[in-house]
Structure 1
Amino acid sequence: MPIYENILYPAPFFLRGGHAQTLYPALFRTLDLPACTVQRITTPDNDFLDIDFHYVTPNSPQKRLAVVSHGLEGNSKRSYIKGMVRALVRAGWDAAAWNFRGCSGSMNRTLHMYHSGSTEDLHSVVSYCAQKGYEEIVLIGFSMGGNQILNYLGHPDSLVHPSVQASVVFSVPCDLVGAAKAMDKSSNAIYLKNFMRTLKEKVAQKHEFYPDLVDISRLSELKTFRDFDETYTAPWYGFKDALEYWEKASSIQFLDRVRVPTLLISARNDPFLWPTCYPTGAAHRSKYFYLETPSDGGHIGFVRIADDDYYWSEIRAMEFLGQVSGRC
């Protein structure tokens, strides 16, 4: 499908560079949404997932739904999730913003939480939503949530639910080896420190529940994603080491197998991404996979200052869904 390397995203004049465009929404964007319906579902391994349902018309579900996935250590209350949910509801889509295990404010029951390559919980959410009567389901994801979606749609072992019709993903580290290199840059130290702080807090909580299975003797020494993934992610999820985890969980290798219209938008100045995270080859080969790489946008930024308070990413997602569904 076409690759739009020069698609126009007009960044606000006062936000110059990827870091400013990344930080502004996290620091300054606030959104109030109508009260949602929170539902807790049980997973096949007897854990739970919390989902925020937002309806176009209360007590009268639509026939189409968007399942929205947040990023690493995010949750369903982040401003980028709430902004997308609001845009979806206004465009006539019910929305289900789900929380990864341990991200809703309640620690999950099992030892395992989530990782970049895990798709089982996404499938559980989609299956649950389909059982509620939704005939058309689309997937929208950000960063790690986007990588999970691309893995779900393309991995040879994944059983994609037949109700899934399209997807839109943003700022995706689809090559985790490269993304790890990007996060090791000194300019990203503030982001890495924040991620490591919350990840280590969750490991400490897991130690309270599973003291014999979770060793925290070196927890304070961990400084990088490699440190964390070598110590916890890899052994918890059956990988030999961090490198094997990154290689096997990178969605870039599965994009040729995606069989629903899928749009990936990643800014060229995204500080979290490495050059290998822009899969131009897959987009050239596939009739389902679209790639757009505007020069600006940052990581999950795409700030737009306007009276309607929509960000550019929300407008672009609605445009794409309208093109592929014909009803948005």
Structure 2
Amino acid sequence: MRAPKPIDKPWSTVISEPEGGLGPRGAVRIAGQLGGPSRGNLFLLVHGLGGDAQRPYMSAAAVAILDHGHACLRMSMRGAGRSGPDFYHAGLASDLHQVLADPSLASYSRIFVIGFSLGGHVAIHLALRAQRDPRLAGIVAICSPLDLARNVELLDAPAGWIYRRHVLAGLSKIHEDVHGHAPRFGTIREWDAATIVPRFGFESVEHYWASQAAGPRLREAAVPILFVATPADPMVPAETLRPHLRRAGAGVDVRWVRRGGHVGFPANTDLGLPGELGLLAQVLTWCEAL
């Protein structure tokens, strides 16, 4: 809940209209925090739905990365945090691609993207792109959904109310920044129908979920992926992941963690990798071995 504060500084760039957007909204400012050396490995951190660059899990990850001597950019997706007002969706990897193309990041030789929850789903889409940064060396998805339709169905069920309320609170703030008012969204489905579908020209929420779901396309990934999940995750149930992970192929390294929740794990988490224990320490071991 109280993550250590990383030593970094504000960073921003301006990106163009996203692929598939109806516009005309024009360019939007993407903000974040950048720290560490100006060369070597750069780790791009992507937050979950309703989050931003300042969430505790983002700060904790940044501290671990900086302590290992790497550079870290924790970004806020469009509409989130200090980024410009707009909406983002589960497959909007074109924004990540544009961020990495910023001239201020040109000196880094290798890039790794670590996405938390929905941010991991967006990061996986970066590995599915035909055009991607040649420096992209690996993708890490932590507690990320793979079946958008089924995940929304379960999150919108009565049992998911406390998690759903938390996510919708962050999304309502985005809506207020864009439109000047914050409607009372009761479900994730309502949010997607009111914002994502019209903003990006999807035919319906079903079309959005089916066309953007990364699970069925995992075998197409051209970049190594580390997928971290836990059977106890209350927001991304294991039942929505297992069918896709079983068919993922050798390019996806799947690590199930027995103890943990949604993007929260014990300090001694072991992914079965050598070196120091702890989620981020183990993730960095995986990345540095590539």
Classify the TM-score, shorter chain. Answer: 0.7 to 0.9
Report the secondary structure of 1:38's partner residue.
strand
Residue of structure 2 in register with 1:87 after alignment: 64
SS at match of 1:52: strand
Conserved 8 A contact 1:153-1:160: yes
For 1:182, which of 154, 162, 169 is the aligned residue?
Answer: 154
Question: How is 1:1-328 mapped onto 2 (pairs within 5 angstroms)?
Answer: 28-34=1-7, 36-45=8-17, 46-56=27-37, 61-105=38-82, 107-108=84-85, 112-128=86-102, 131-155=105-129, 158-208=130-180, 219-220=183-184, 222-274=185-237, 275-278=239-242, 279-283=244-248, 286-304=249-267, 312-324=278-290
Structure 1 portions without partners, runs of 5+: 1-27, 209-213
TM-score by length of 1: 0.77
When normalised by structure 2's length, the TM-score is 0.87
Tell me how far 1:203 sits from its aligned partner: 1.8
Task: After TM superposition, give the deviation of residue 192 of structure 1 in Å.
Answer: 0.8
Match of 1:4 in 2: none
Q: Which amino acid aligns with 1:37?
A: K
Q: Aligned-pair distance for 1:312?
A: 2.5
Cα deviation, 1:2-56, whole Å, max 9, x if unaligned, reads: xxxxxxxxxxxxxxxxxxxxxxxxxx3331222x221221112321101211114
Structure of greater Rg: 1
Q: 1:114-136: per-residue Cα shift (whole Å, max 9, x none)?
A: 11111111001111268521111
% identical aligned pairs: 22
Distance 1:312 1:67 in 2: 19
Structure 1 position 322, deviation (Å): 2.5
Q: Distance in 2 between matches of 1:150 and 1:170?
A: 11
Mark the CA change 1:317 to 1:80 in structure 2 (over 3 Å): closer, same or farther: same
Deviation, 1:198, is 2.8
* In 1: Cα distance, 2:113 partner to 2:106 partner: 16
Distance 2:68 2:103 in 1: 19
* Structure 2 Cα separation of the partners of residues 55 and 131 of structure 1: 12
Residues 251-297 of structure 1: CA deviation (Å, up to 9, x unaligned): 112211112221000111111123122332233xx232111122221
> Which amino acid in 2 is paired with 1:95?
C
Q: Specify the code of the residue in structure 2 equivalent to 1:146.
A: G
SS of equivalent residue, structure 1 residue 135: strand
Larger relative contact order (C-alpha < 8 A, sep ≥ 6)? 1
Query: d(CA) in 1 for partners of 2:3 and 2:232?
Result: 24
- Counting matched residue pairs gives 273
Task: Output the CA distance in 1 between the equivalents of 2:251 and 2:218.
Answer: 9
1:9 match: none
Counterpart code for 1:296: R
Q: Find the aligned partners of 2:192 and 2:216 in 1 and give their Cα distance.
A: 20
Aligned partner of 1:194: which letter?
H
Question: Using the alignment, how far apart are the partners of 1:113 and 1:42 within structure 2?
Answer: 15
Q: Is the 8 A contact 1:173 1:179 kept in 2?
A: yes
- Report the 3-state secondary structure (helix = DSSP H, G, I; strand = E; otherwise coil) of the residue aligned with 1:259: coil
Structure 2: unaligned runs, 5 residues or longer = 18-26, 270-275
- After TM superposition, where is structure 1 displaced by more than 4 Å over at least 4 residues in a row? none
Change (3 A) 1:126 1:86: same
RMSD (Å) for aligned C-alpha atoms:
2.2
- Letter paired with 1:88: I
